[in-house]
Structure 1
């Protein structure tokens, strides 16, 4: 090594130690870290870590063999105690509506990080003849004298990071080598989508031929009578967009970002539905859908079609009936629920036994088979087989149904609350 190089190394070494923090030479970690304590989000219940025997909780009456028995382990998480209700989803719709209106009126602010945001303190002028008239139906599209928001304009941009693809492509031997020319661009794994977020209220008519359900189309999502009922008519991507929005809403008021709100995997859902009861066919345990007094324990289709026998002709309030032992309501019946899992008939044959997860982000032009997503729990229009905790079913991610809703989960960070050892 030349003399000049030796002097350069010595100088850089002295500079390094002269700028080091005053830690008395001890390994004490970074001292200016934010404090953290476990959170309990409003409206959510904690589901502790544990093991689950997935598979049919009763005989496989269809002999479908799509749920072979297997033991898996699940990390603790928080789950909404009810399905997302109309009023909760309406908060999302109003946020998107108001953010679009603010931007149209020029109500924006520049944040320190260089990102332009909405000025929520500014007032919106919704009066007729104002700057926001363009957000309403007009002309031939206006029904009578009603002034209704043009729901086609309620489009929400959301994004997510494809961690699985990034992990497959990343090679630490080349990507961490500063001399290597084979480097992956982080932007290649950031997925973006824009989607209309207003629920499909017409599904109440479309789902049932020769059946009069127009009052539900006109009233279900917006009328106060249904505020606490589960939102339906929401496609899988709309549910994903809601989770992304809810995460941003949370992070805007939290100093320390947490895990993202998301849809549960199908096995997290099944684990939560059983409520700690091993191989329980229903969230309440036993083999019957009525209690000792003969009262039905869930909102589904009993008998040969006596829909009102359980107290509700269609859906019922999200907290109707008794919760399971985890404090979760209507994990059987009421509304079937989207999960994040892609549906494959033989999935149980190759899934991992640690936090099993199968996902696939289908594109618009992909075959329909690739767009199948697992739904769980059964609904108000299903027979009792479909409300069992171990029954798997599916629907296409780009469809909307009057009997499919969703709820969110949030992964618990750290050791499970129930582990006191």
Structure 2
């Protein structure tokens, strides 16, 4: 998605990057030190082992949520909340890490995601930045996401809406503008890892069987007190019935049956798995799959040149008319180098 939207970005929203732009001497994900062997599980909850049927649980399910198949999961610990700005700030202070959104874009790397012969965009478009949601004035074609995502120079985890914005009063909100590599780097430092999507789906149901949402099967129309998502007509009319137009502080809504917060809405969460639309077909052919790690390859025919990873759980932008991302079985994907102001993560530890 990042590559496609950059090509549409004839005029970036902001031309001046943040004064806090990091230097190029700071560590990459591979250079981030691993934490001490004794990893604390404080702030995590134990997710019990179990077997469940993974995949589409309603008539809203998409093709890549099928076929349904049996999965056996070992016990593991999971962060009770999405990683917050305060937690990510501690990681950056300890390591000097620089996120993908804070670095100018490498055209030689980006062009590999595009058809051969694609012309290089203006250098101004390739400055450090990220994608920020911009509501529209009225109804639009919901298949054309370029109408509500805007490439914004200077947008990053410290500046969610662009260089003039701040997280000073949002330290208990989930960190955003996090690319897959950034999430991996944090997890490595913390001595943790990202969840597989099979672990994520199992945990999101909170001990319920075939639950449609983390809170159960109560209609999303009556669930504005259960999660942070878009109530109204996306992407131009948001009634804000849940009280939050963008991200909400973690623990603003009730936890699921395992004690996990925001497994629906708030921000999308990165998983370990490479995104492959055929992954479930391959798993189903094996019978009961034990602790599946996902596909060995990337495959999305819609964007065949782009390596993507799975994201789960939906965000403050999710609505039934657009993505229904708050469903526990909903699979979505994002290019691994993309950051958005609705994407973050949480970590797990194997038991």
Contact 2:160–2:177 (Cα < 8 Å) also in 1: no
Alignment partner, residue 310 of structure 1: 242
Alignment partner, residue 229 of structure 2: 300
Paired residue for 1:217, among 132, 151, 162? 162
Contact 2:132–2:151 (Cα < 8 Å) also in 1: no
Q: Secondary structure at the match of 2:162?
A: helix
Paired residue for 2:292, among 350, 353, 356? 356
Change (3 A) 1:341 1:61: closer
Q: Secondary structure at the match of 2:200?
A: helix
Alignment partner, residue 340 of structure 1: 272
Deviations 1:247-300 (A, max 9, x none): 2xxxxxxxxxxxxx1000001000000001011000011231255xx7432111
Alignment partner, residue 236 of structure 1: 180
Post-superposition offset of 1:382: 1.3
Q: Secondary structure at the match of 2:232?
A: coil
Post-superposition offset of 1:78: 0.4
Q: Secondary structure at the match of 1:325?
A: coil
Alignment partner, residue 84 of structure 1: 83
Structural mapping, 1:236-255, within 5 Å: 236-247=180-191
TM-score by length of 2: 0.66
C-alpha separation between the residues in 2 aligned to 1:215 and 1:89? 14
Paired residue for 1:380, among 316, 319, 326? 316
Alignment partner, residue 55 of structure 2: 55
Alignment partner, residue 397 of structure 1: 336
Post-superposition offset of 1:319: 1.1
- Structure 1, unpaired ranges of 5+: 1-37, 101-150, 154-199, 248-260, 413-421
Q: Secondary structure at the match of 1:72?
A: strand
Structural mapping, 1:318-337, within 5 Å: 318-337=250-269
C-alpha separation between the residues in 2 aligned to 1:39 and 1:216? 34
Contact 1:289–1:298 (Cα < 8 Å) also in 2: no
C-alpha separation between the residues in 2 aligned to 1:343 and 1:394? 6
Deviations 1:199-232 (A, max 9, x none): x764326884589998832466x53310010111
C-alpha separation between the residues in 2 aligned to 1:51 and 1:67? 17
Change (3 A) 1:82 1:307: farther
Alignment partner, residue 32 of structure 1: none
Contact 2:65–2:330 (Cα < 8 Å) also in 1: no
Post-superposition offset of 1:92: 1.1
CA radius of gyration, larger in: 1
Alignment partner, residue 70 of structure 2: 71
Q: Secondary structure at the match of 2:87?
A: helix
C-alpha separation between the residues in 1 aligned to 2:195 and 2:348? 6
Contact 1:307–1:314 (Cα < 8 Å) also in 2: no
Contact 1:67–1:392 (Cα < 8 Å) also in 2: no
TM-score by length of 1: 0.55
